[in-house]
């Protein structure tokens, strides 16, 4: 069919299996007592004084989301700039629609959102309760106790996913209301063809669409920090992948097809 994207390459076709394998590896790491194992990390967190425990817990939430996000984002940036590679033929915008904003042009806004808003919220969420030892955050996220078993991890992940879908859907619909769209418009100034464009947004948009769905779910479920780590890692990888502009994901394909529409132009 004319104009149809090329077949999905194996490296992307099997991405869900990669996420599943990553989750299994995380579960094994979580119960490992080795020096760099998850159990050892949680024991170290529990050994900290209350004030510092809340600080370390908040930083762990921030890093679990931001480290894989920036690593994958930088990798996709290198892929976009590289002259060779099998992935080039799958880049949707190549030779069709030029990128509106480059990686370097988006990065200051992205860092403002992450450091200026997301990091303080992570720290606030993990403040110890009055008179507590910091093992449980005042607003729900906790590190105290043994790491969750595999079935507990799955249940918490399902709960976090359900909360995320509801909050994200409602927030996204709200951001397209005429009175709020001006705060969402910046996100649609890109063609969804640069991985980090997923967090190129106003502060209100970033709050409703990026971290609120995850952290609100964690607080409502009084979740152990471990499933929040895993959910943040998978969500960060998916955020970059779904905004990277490659033919293997439907989100970027839809954004490209809408790129000449008034809805995208704002």
pLDDT of residue 64: 94
Burial class (CB in 10 A: 0-12, 13-18, 19+), 172: middle
The rounded distance, in Å, linking the Cα atoms of 18 and 2 is 31
140 vs 17: which has the higher pLDDT: 17
Query: pTM for the full model?
Result: 0.83
The rounded distance, in Å, linking the Cα atoms of 67 and 235 is 12
| Segment 33-48 mean pLDDT | 83
| Segment 90-105 mean pLDDT | 69
pLDDT digits (tens, 9 = 90+) for 208-247: 888 889 888 888 888 888 999 999 999 999 889 888 877 6
Closest CA to 238 of 201, 199, 212: 199
pLDDT digits (tens, 9 = 90+) for 148-191: 888 888 899 999 999 999 999 999 999 999 999 999 988 888 87
Check whether 17 has a pLDDT greater than 50: yes
pLDDT digits (tens, 9 = 90+) for 62-94: 999 999 999 999 999 998 888 677 777 777 755
Contact 88, 94 (CB under 8 A): yes
Check whether 257 has a pLDDT greater than 60: no
pLDDT of residue 87: 79
Residue spans of alpha helices (H) in the chain: 10-13, 15-30, 38-46, 50-81, 103-113, 119-125, 150-175, 181-184, 203-206, 212-220, 225-242, 250-257, 262-265
Closest CA to 217 of 154, 260, 165: 165
User: What phi, psi does 29 have (nearest 5°)?
Assistant: -65, -35
């Amino acid at each position: 069919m004319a104009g149809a994207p090329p077949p999905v390459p194996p490296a992307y076709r099997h991405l869900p299996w990669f996420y599943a394998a990553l989750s299994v590896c995380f579960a094994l790491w979580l119960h490992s007592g080795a020096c760099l194992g998850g159990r050892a990390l949680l024991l170290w967190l529990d050994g900290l004084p209350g004030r510092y425990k809340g600080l370390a817990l908040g930083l762990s939430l921030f890093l679990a989301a931001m480290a894989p996000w920036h690593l994958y984002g930088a990798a996709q940036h290198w892929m976009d700039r590289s002259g060779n590679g099998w992935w080039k033929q799958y880049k949707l915008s190549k030779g069709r629609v030029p990128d509106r904003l480059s990686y370097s042009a988006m990065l200051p806004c992205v860092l403002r959102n992450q450091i200026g808003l997301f990091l303080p919220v992570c720290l606030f969420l993990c403040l110890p309760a009055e008179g507590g030892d910091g093992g449980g955050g005042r607003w729900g996220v906790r590190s105290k106790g043994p790491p969750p078993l595999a079935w507990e991890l799955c249940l918490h992940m399902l709960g976090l996913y359900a909360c995320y879908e509801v909050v994200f859907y409602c927030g996204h619909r709200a951001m397209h209301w005429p009175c709020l769209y001006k705060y969402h418009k910046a996100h649609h100034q890109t063609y969804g063809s640069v991985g980090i464009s997923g967090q190129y947004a106003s502060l209100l948009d970033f709050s409703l669409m990026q971290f609120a769905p995850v952290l609100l779910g964690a607080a409502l479920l009084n979740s152990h920090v471990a499933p929040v780590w895993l959910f943040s890692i998978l969500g960060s990888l998916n955020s970059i992948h779904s905004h990277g502009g490659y033919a293997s994901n439907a989100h970027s394909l839809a954004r490209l097809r809408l790129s000449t529409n008034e809805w995208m132009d704002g």
